[in-house]
Structure 1
Amino acid sequence: MVVGVKVIGTAYSIATMRVMACLYEKDLDFELVPVNLSTGEHKREPFVSLNPFGQVPAFEDGDLKLYESRAITRYIAQEYINRGTDLVFKEPKKQAVESVWAEVEAHHFDPAGIILNWELSVKPRLLGQEVDQAAVDENEDKLVQVLDVYEKRLTESKYLGGDRYTLADLHHLPTAEYLMDTGVKMLFESRPRVSAWLADITARPAWGKVVALRNQALKKRVESAQEGSQNK
């Protein structure tokens, strides 16, 4: 058994969910060390010694300390390549193609998705704030362009990164999971190949474990916010 793997973050954080999904795919035991985002614990010591940018998650594997979720998943997939699901290609050309689609997720899909999640989910549901419709419209347009590219790509390959599930697919899961609980869901469902791809990757048992942890953490956060409101 691998020991000493820690994820320091919160189970409802998109980036933390990305790392946990990878660990579950690799069948690795890990400890989730909670960080209280609502009190700013991630912006002060001791957390900023692990990530000077004050963002979750941080990651430890023995004496190795990392941050940035995609770098963490890449390390896990390569370091534990012979365990669980193989999430990277060994052949240079296939590896290069997978890397392209992983970059597309980071630079095109996620930036639009993060803003849409913030505007359509976090602000109205958790913060009680008004939605910036202009920001929603702008980023829906950006997401449409990305999903159109995905629809075409998925006529060529079952998964974005190649003929099997890889990090290029896994990295999409947390943001997509949140978006599917908003009106943006129709942008995925109206594209048959994108819809089938998303149904495939969200049905993975490893991802189900992440969602269960996410839901528990969100429930606690909502209950805590309600208690705080009642005590004012």
Structure 2
Amino acid sequence: MGVNASDVRTTCYHHCNQTFESRHQCYKRCQELAPNDGYKVYGWPYSTNTRRVLAVLHEKGLSYDPVTVDLKAGDQKKPSFLSLNPFGQVPVLLDGDLKLSESRAISEYIANVHQSKGSQLLNYESYKTMGTQRMWMYIESLDFDPLASILAFEQYIKPTYGLDYKVVNETEAKLEKVLDIYEERLKKSSFLASNSFTLADLYHLPNIQYLMDTKTKRLFESRASVHRWVAEITARPAWKKACDVKAWYGKKKN
């Protein structure tokens, strides 16, 4: 029975991360040991979760084949897609015979496999830096994302059905408390986890992008350090590519 290339890479990177010795050369050897043959991404180019994965792929300079799952048409509920993800959510990443769902899990997988390529999205300088990064990644998913997702849905996605301003106002009040904590952190650090851009920052991008076109934008702009951080991360070329819907449809279809 053959060995999957992704298994070889994962084992190799695990060794590098355990030893913390000569990581750059170790990662480089891992990449050369089992080069990637390309990814297939099942997603919807307007989806926040799909864009999160695309941003990582572009930060790493990786190619991928997009497969459109039209959420408006209900493609995510069809048996053909449910066979890939029984939860009926995008995106899904295929790497050979490996099948992954959940955008943050996919993002971390790509960032680990391709440590030596493109932007260094994971900070493995020490266990302390790794712990700080993981902390902010969890803060994004547990404290920021639930509130930002509601506000983006209510103000950007739902307008054709009518806004519930009570929900918006109450949620904004909660988000302000979170952003106050971000402001204090970003006064001391260029980015959330360290002085370099990592997954902890990237994970915020999809919802922030939509919120910049709503009245909630003022909550970010009224905090100087948060405003500086938002301007910097949204200007990244990889993120602009991730938001380019024409580029998604212009790619090879499967």
TM-score where L is the length of structure 1: 0.89
What is residue 54 of structure 2 aligned with on the other side?
20
Question: Of 177, 181, 186, which residue of structure 2 is paired with 1:145?
Answer: 177
Q: Aligned partners of 1:148, 1:216: CA distance in 2, in Å?
A: 36
What is residue 162 of structure 2 aligned with on the other side?
130
What is residue 172 of structure 1 aligned with on the other side?
204
* Root mean square deviation of aligned Cα: 1.4
Return the letter of the residue paired with 1:166.
Answer: T
Please tell me whether residue 97 in structure 1 is matched to residue 135 in structure 2: no
What is residue 7 of structure 1 aligned with on the other side?
41
Deviations 1:27-83 (A, max 9, x none): 100111101111211012111111111011111112211000000000000011011
Return the letter of the residue paired with 1:206.
Answer: A
What is residue 67 of structure 2 aligned with on the other side?
33
What is residue 59 of structure 1 aligned with on the other side?
93
Instruction: Rate the CA distance shift 1:13–1:195 in 2: closer, same or farther, 3 A.
Output: same
Displacement after TM superposition at 1:210 (Å): 1.2
What is residue 109 of structure 1 aligned with on the other side?
144
What is residue 192 of structure 1 aligned with on the other side?
224
SS of the aligned residue for 1:66 comes to strand
Deviations 1:69-128 (A, max 9, x none): 00000000001101111100112110110011111110111111111111111111xxx2
Deviations 1:127-167 (A, max 9, x none): x2111111101110111011101000011211001121000
- Deviant stretches of 4+, over 6 Å: 214-217
Judge conservation of contact 1:3–1:30 (CA < 8 Å) in 2. Answer: no
SS of the aligned residue for 1:60 comes to strand
Judge conservation of contact 2:154–2:164 (CA < 8 Å) in 1. Answer: yes
Judge conservation of contact 1:12–1:215 (CA < 8 Å) in 2. Answer: no
Return the letter of the residue paired with 1:53.
Answer: F
In terms of Rg, which structure is larger?
A: 2
Please tell me whether residue 68 in structure 1 is matched to residue 102 in structure 2: yes
Q: Aligned partners of 1:175, 1:30: CA distance in 2, in Å?
A: 23
Instruction: Rate the CA distance shift 1:22–1:216 in 2: closer, same or farther, 3 A.
Output: closer
Judge conservation of contact 1:2–1:29 (CA < 8 Å) in 2. Answer: no
Unaligned runs of 5+ in 2: 1-34, 250-254
Judge conservation of contact 1:4–1:60 (CA < 8 Å) in 2. Answer: no
What is residue 158 of structure 1 aligned with on the other side?
190
**Aligned-residue identity in percent:** 47
Q: Aligned partners of 2:247, 2:61: CA distance in 1, in Å?
A: 21
Displacement after TM superposition at 1:2 (Å): 3.5
Q: State the number of aligned residues.
A: 214
Instruction: Rate the CA distance shift 1:215–1:174 in 2: closer, same or farther, 3 A.
Output: farther
Return the letter of the residue paired with 1:113.
Answer: A
TM-score where L is the length of structure 2: 0.81
Instruction: Rate the CA distance shift 1:59–1:216 in 2: closer, same or farther, 3 A.
Output: closer
What is residue 210 of structure 1 aligned with on the other side?
242
Unaligned runs of 5+ in 1: 218-232
Judge conservation of contact 1:2–1:28 (CA < 8 Å) in 2. Answer: no
Judge conservation of contact 1:19–1:73 (CA < 8 Å) in 2. Answer: yes
SS of the aligned residue for 2:243 comes to helix
Judge conservation of contact 2:66–2:248 (CA < 8 Å) in 1. Answer: no
Q: Aligned partners of 2:50, 2:140: CA distance in 1, in Å?
A: 16
